[in-house]
Amino acid sequence: MCGLMRPRCRISALEGKSTQSIYIVFSPLPSCRSAKYDYRAIFDQRGWHNNTPDVQPRLEIHDLMKENKQFSLFVQAWTKIRDKGYEPAAAQYGVQAGIHGMPYEPWLGDPSGDEVQKSKELQEFKAILFPTWHRPSLMLLEQSIGEAARKIAEEIAKDHPSESEAWLEAADKLRFPYWDWTDPRETRRFPQIFREKNVKIHMPGEKIEDHSNPLYTYNLGSPPPSFFEDRPVANPIITPGETPRDQWPTAYFGSWTQTYRWPSNDPVNPTEKLETLLNGGKLYPGAPATGWHDLQSKVASLFLYPPKNEMPEGSEVYAWDRFSNTRAMSQPTRDQWENPGSGKYWEIAKILNPLVNFASSKMDNDYASFDPIFFLHHCNVDRILALWETAYPDYYMGNSGFIDMNGKQKPFLQRDGKWGWSNKPGSDNPVESAVDLKGDTPLTPFRKGDGKYWTSDDTRWRSKVPKSELDIHLDQEVVDPLGPRSGVSLRLSLAEGHEQSEGLYNEDQCRRNRACLQKLFGFNPVPARQKAYQMLSSRNVPEKLTYPRTVAELAPQCEAIHDYRHYVVRIVLDPHALGTSYLVNINFGALNVQTGETIGGYIGSAAALVRSKDTKCGACQGRTEDETKSVYHVTIPHEIIAHAACHSGEMNTLDLLLKSLSAEITLPDGFKVASTSANNATNAGSIPKKLIPVITLFSAALQALPDGTEYDHNEPQDHAPLTPCDAYDWQKHTVLFPHQEWTAVQAYS
């Protein structure tokens, strides 16, 4: 995806109930091979195979499955490019998956890259370039599958002339699908299409055949590739004392012959425990599956950045810095992260990886991309980036760096690490280097048709690339679940052209886009508050929820969202503290002092996704040595606060949270490393201070511009405003869980 057309978002009253259609459009990838560049992802002004004049949209995987011929070609083509003998070799799935990590060799599709450039391919994609680097990475696989699909369709056309037009058209329309894990279809469960070893596909002659499902797993071969190796984790907390080696948590990459999702600690026949973590613990019967709710809330928080007109001049680069990665490269202290509830793209990209990926039991990013879901997930994340660009078109890294606290111009720099690592640090007199990160930094190893490398500037929606569009309709159920107004819906339209000049900003359009997208991803505070009123009333609770006093003034012309505060937990951690990837989970437990009954459950997570200490990724090794901290956030749903208040009788929301919140550190396979729970064993050990995350509770009031609807402005409005909600009056309440409250739970077994 190289960006979307400039949006035209309209608020309108539509007759009847519209359908929520979520189709985001991405640009085409024509075939391109030459002697100099064996296989590369490029754009041109024509269609994919130069046979269709129109740019086709990517479809959500469930919608692609409804397109019988397209889905059939997709399944056959992805299977075909997995063949170790498929030509060109650079188009093979296994070879392209290796660009992301192992085997840390230059990609076959860029054989002419110089030695320095080849070395840079071996580092992890750099922080502020993370969102844009993945775009040509996705396009490359999309191109590979598309070319294979075209060849299959041509063979069908030759053997079945009467069906040739339909199959060739399907091949021309086929694009790589995304998995929209924010969509509640299948009742928030892991989609069935990813669980089935075989899938039924349509074939010529109206036949339906069983076919191996390329979305189920990737066959690594037996034995696995030579560069795959078992990676045990030894840590004084996880494996204390004389813990036998066979009890160490181990990723058996050198033993497994296929990819697994959240596998058990077994080198031969691991079991997959996916649903346990994805569904999370439910706070109460009928509550949403909280793991999925946390994912959606993280996406919604991306659209809580202040609008451009409320930011200081020149702040666009700082907003991109905060958005694109889990730390502020342009700001020297964590305290200067304003608006703790504004989300981070890196966080939504990484939070799902430990939940579903092949590497997920130990979350090793060197191997993650071999799981087919990796690419469907990143395709969805790239779609979310495209939507973010419609709301914040001018928030971008640029090419001039940033102004530091002393008023000096500084470049964004990423420590590459030390080239020359063979397997472990300290070999071959390693040399340090750094890369200046900006909009025209090459996104290696991906080249364009002119032989130059893709840059982030090329991937933006303002770049001169053909684009198409399909509207997103938000029906009344999404816009205003309380339904006091009949026939109102929102429409996000991406139909306007992309010919506008750099710097053109339409405040009204961007505001309307943010309103659409906040609601699309479930951020709708007024219905949440109204439901809390109903919950309290139905349980005969005489009191109202109370909140910290708002001290900041409203923005001009804005009105407050009364009787509501937006609570957020910020988590600052050292992702390398355990020597492996891990999760920090925020949990909840509310006690009814009269009955002694406690209700509780999981709220959300921060996922520290790192590569093994044995990785050859230079930048990753550099970050480990620097003890670079990462910043995450978890939103506390208002529904959980209201239900816990009803149960406990504590109506002061701040006191309720201070009494009820707890945290734990776990490995992704469910093993609990440490916890703040009072129920820990009396002989539980202490844990190093380095491992303790800094967890801080914040809250903000919310405001919105009037949308023209008449109501009593002295009372809380009974409908969701059609304008976006903005946070203000951020208050830092307290740092939760000091060091002495944390204890180790048990040794790994």
For the chain, give the percent of residues with pLDDT over 90.
35
> How confident is the prediction for the chain on average, in pLDDT?
77
Which residues is 728 bridged to in the sheet?
701
Secondary structure (DSSP) of 23-49: --B---------SSSSS-----SS-TT
Query: What are phi and psi for residue 328, nearest 5 degrees?
Result: -95, 100
Residues in the chain: 749
Question: Confidence class of residue 476 from pLDDT cuts 50, 70 and 90?
Answer: low
Does the structure show a pLDDT above 90 at 249? no
* 312: preceding bond cis by omega (within 30 degrees): no
pTM over 0.75: yes
Does the structure show a pLDDT above 90 at 290? no
Secondary structure (DSSP) of 596-633: --EEEEEEEEEEE-B--TT---HHHHHHHHHT--EEEE
β strands within 217-256, DSSP E: 230-232, 250-252
Per residue, the 3-state secondary structure of 290-347, as one string, reads HHHHHHHHHHHHHHHCCCHHHCCCCCHHHHHHHHHCCCCCCCCCHHHCCCCCCCCHHH
| Number of neighbouring beta carbons within 10 Å of residue 449 | 14
| Cβ(21)–Cβ(478) below 8 Å | no
Q: What domains lie within the chain, and their CATH numbers?
A: 38-200 (1.10.1280.10)
Does the structure show a pLDDT above 80 at 713? no
- Helix H or strand E encompassing 469: none
| CA gap 57, 419 in Å, rounded | 40
Averaged pLDDT, 329-345: 66
Residue 635 in 3-state DSSP? strand
| CA gap 175, 99 in Å, rounded | 21
Over the stretch 63-76, which tens digit does the pLDDT of each residue have?
999 999 999 999 99
Over the stretch 644-654, which tens digit does the pLDDT of each residue have?
999 999 999 99
| CA gap 71, 67 in Å, rounded | 6
The pLDDT, as a whole number, for residue 20 is: 31
> In terms of pLDDT, which residue wins out, 265 or 619?
265
For the chain, give the percent of residues with pLDDT over 70.
70
| Number of neighbouring beta carbons within 10 Å of residue 154 | 15
The pLDDT, as a whole number, for residue 214 is: 97
Does the structure show a pLDDT above 50 at 43? no
Range of lowest pLDDT (13-17, 111-115, 362-366, 381-385): 13-17
Give ∠ CA 62-281-655 in degrees, rounded to 5: 125
Question: Could you give the C-alpha distances from 377 to 182, 341, 728, in angstroms and in order?
Answer: 11, 23, 32
Q: Which of 56, 60, 299, 355 is nearest to 178 (CA)?
A: 60
Question: Confidence class of residue 41 from pLDDT cuts 50, 70 and 90?
Answer: very low
Which residue, chain included where needed, has tokens 């816009």?
479
